[in-house]
Amino acid sequence: MTRTGRRLSGRRPTARLIAVVALLLGALLLPSPAHADLQNPRQDFLRASTGGLFLHWGERTAPQHTSCSAWENDVTNGGWTPDYWVQEAQKLHVQYLVLATFHSRLGYARPWPSAIPGSCATKRDFLGELITAASAKGLKVILYMTDDPQWHAEGGHEWLDSAAYSAYEGTNVDLTTRDGFGRFSYDNFFEVMDRYPTLGGFWIDNDNAYWESHDLYAQIYQKRPNYTISNNNEDTPIMDMISNEQKTGMTPSYDYPQAVYTAGPRLTEADFKLPSTGAWWYDGSNPSVDRMLTLGRLVTNAGSSVKALMAETAQVNGKFPANQESFNNFANSYLGPIWESLHGVEGGGYMYGGLKPGFWNDGAHGVTTISKTDADRQYVHVLTPPSTSTLRIRDNGYRITSVANLRTGAAISWSQSGGVLTLNGLGGWDPYDTVFKVTTAGRQGILPASSYTMSASASASGHGASAAADGSYLSYWDSNKTLPVTLTFDLGGSKRVQYIGLNQREDSVAYARSDTEQSARIKDYKVFLSNDGSNWGSAVKTGQLPSARGMKGIDITAANARYVRLEVDSTWAASTDTTRYKRLRIDEAWIGTSYATPAPEVAP
């Protein structure tokens, strides 16, 4: 295709082409502002993934190169092979690789033979070789794309060539401006799509106004329907996934999802460095890898249906420093015996059901996972063991059949009563993750939502009380920032009430991260019962819920009533957090008429 033809199909689409694109995307995109489908077949490989390997590797990989050809020669002469990266990714048990070579602080290097001048481009097709090697092992490659020219002179060297690109375009373009660089990088998107139809998609560092004004994302979905688009830190609705970068400050420090603020089933990723210190790319050092922190992040992300993108620092020849290689070898042997509890599962205690995760008894902490194909197969991951030999976990209405240590297969002594699964006689805790396989026999004692109706004292437009009991996590009740506020169940007749179950919207952090990023979750509450809906009497329960993710149960002394009212008096977000202050959203709420009882184990 001539350069003129490329431009017409890429950067400057005609009005007719725009109309055709709009029609083709009708099934994919919602009305303006544009939104990608929340769930789409192109996302299947990401939704089926546990995580990925993040590779930052370019001209500024130590020792820094300022000549693209010299860097390429040293990469090749050093023995670079894509099979090494694929092999190391398999050791980490991940399903995709993200290659960040066209990175603003790595010299804007493009590891493919590009016809577009403006920054470093290699003659050897490193990207194509990696795609081929990864595909052979069932892995996907996603390409990092930056929108940011601000590091064009990083390290005292000019990495961008505005004159060459201007000559190529036939007009003056300053690549050091956001609009100019947006134009340059826009062209690169189309070159990559033309060259690599089997690429997994793009991982984009933020956004660029030029891309937006030229409908880049809609064109990507039209041209390459199997590509996904991920975005760093900014939840841009048209993109398939948001990635949360290097969140810290949580307690426990490994519980990464506490800092994630995007509610499922939106695809969400957590990207973090495996080296304990240093840059995202190889800086000449060999820092250690904190096994507890890294494995804890991997496990807690799996326990929240968040993909774990783990960053390692490839050297010029592609090899990882010794401590990272050592961790990969350790992870390969460590993860194998418990892999069924981390892959092919969803996070437990959220929208997918499952035992309650989070803070348990006596200092214990961890997550739960639930099989995507068998809701009666669940796993308890104890990352921080209790100070005692007993572990108590809210059963969320599941009838327990059996419990075993996943690594050893040994049966675990357990009991179930009062809404709690209790594991007894525990000891010999794994230093990183003790995993219990829990077999259940369905749920018990929960009223079907079709048997009652909901009302609220306040609701935001389009988010009425009925959404809190419609069985869909695409809808939710929103109190319209009204506190105190009440949510009332009309059971249609007098029925036994034992507890209220709640899944609040997971669209805020789960702790006071800062003055302007806090938890929009229930704090102080009261529960009232009534037989006529008019006379409520005194509260049968008052209390405070923790600012934590996952299912919450509010237990009361069992009583018969037709109406059950939850009054929320306060939430955890402070007034300084104007976005979340007084915000209350509930995905699903339910009534437990009784606690689940153990079920007999059935021989296979």
346-373 pLDDT tens trace? 999 999 999 999 999 999 999 999 999 9
Mean pLDDT score across all residues of the chain: 93
Range 477-498 average pLDDT = 98
Q: Report the DSSP beta bridge partners of residue 527.
A: 541, 566
Peptide bond preceding 33 in cis form (omega within 30 of 0): yes
CA atoms 477, 482, 487, 488: torsion sign: negative
pLDDT, position 2: 29
Q: What's the residue count for the chain?
A: 604
Q: Pick from 69, 77, 134, 164: which is nearest to 107 by CA?
A: 69
- Asked if pLDDT for residue 416 goes beyond 90, the answer is yes
Q: Give pLDDT tens digits for 282-320.
A: 999 999 999 999 999 999 999 999 999 999 999 999 999
For the chain, give the percent of residues with pLDDT over 70.
Answer: 94
- Asked if pLDDT for residue 9 goes beyond 60, the answer is no
- Asked if pLDDT for residue 31 goes beyond 90, the answer is no
H/E element, 456: strand 453-456
Q: Which band of pLDDT confidence, cut at 50, 70 and 90, is reported for residue 83?
A: very high
CB neighbourhood size of 26 (10 A): 9
Please give the structure tokens belonging to residue 492: 């249609």
pLDDT, position 34: 54
- Asked if pLDDT for residue 588 goes beyond 80, the answer is yes
Q: Pick from 247, 365, 377: which is nearest to 299 by CA?
A: 365
CATH 2.60.120.260 domain range(s) in the chain: 449-592
Range 487-505 average pLDDT = 98
Range 476-498 average pLDDT = 98
Q: Pick from 96, 106, 19, 99: which is nearest to 58 by CA?
A: 106
59: left (phi > 0), else alpha (psi -120 to 50), else beta? Answer: alpha
pLDDT, position 35: 64
Task: Say if residues 406 and 338 touch (Cβ distance below 8 Å).
Answer: yes
Range 534-542 average pLDDT = 98
Euclidean distance between CA atoms 554 and 84, whole angstroms = 52
- Please give the distance of CA 330 from its chain centroid, rounded to a whole number: 24
Euclidean distance between CA atoms 165 and 11, whole angstroms = 15
Q: Which CATH architecture does the domain made up of 449-592 adopt?
A: Sandwich (2.60)
pLDDT, position 53: 98
Range 321-325 average pLDDT = 98
Termini Cα distance of the chain: 62
pLDDT, position 8: 29
pLDDT, position 601: 80
516: left (phi > 0), else alpha (psi -120 to 50), else beta? Answer: alpha
Nearest 5 degrees, angle CA 35-CA 39-CA 44? 130
List alpha helices for 33-177, DSSP H.
44-47, 68-77, 82-91, 126-136, 162-169
Range 373-390 average pLDDT = 98
- Asked if pLDDT for residue 523 goes beyond 50, the answer is yes
User: What are the backbone dihedrals phi and psi of residue 348, each rounded to the nearest 5 degrees, phi first?
Assistant: -90, 150
- Asked if pLDDT for residue 561 goes beyond 70, the answer is yes
CATH 3.20.20.80 domain range(s) in the chain: 3-337
SS3 content of the chain, % helix, strand, coil (to 5): 25, 30, 45
CATH 2.60.40.1180 domain range(s) in the chain: 345-443
- Check: pTM over 0.85? Answer yes or no: yes
Report CA-CA distances (Å) from 239 to 149, 182, 411, 414: 22, 18, 45, 45
List alpha helices for 303-442, DSSP H.
322-335
pLDDT, position 206: 85
Pick the CATH number of 345-443 from 1.10.10.10, 2.60.40.1180, 3.40.1350.10, 3.30.70.20: 2.60.40.1180
Range 268-274 average pLDDT = 98
Superfamily of domain 3-337: Glycosidases (3.20.20.80)
Q: Which band of pLDDT confidence, cut at 50, 70 and 90, is reported for residue 37?
A: confident
State the DSSP code for 50: S
Range 36-62 average pLDDT = 95
Least confident of 70-74, 407-411, 514-518: 514-518
Q: Give pLDDT tens digits for 134-144.
A: 999 999 999 99
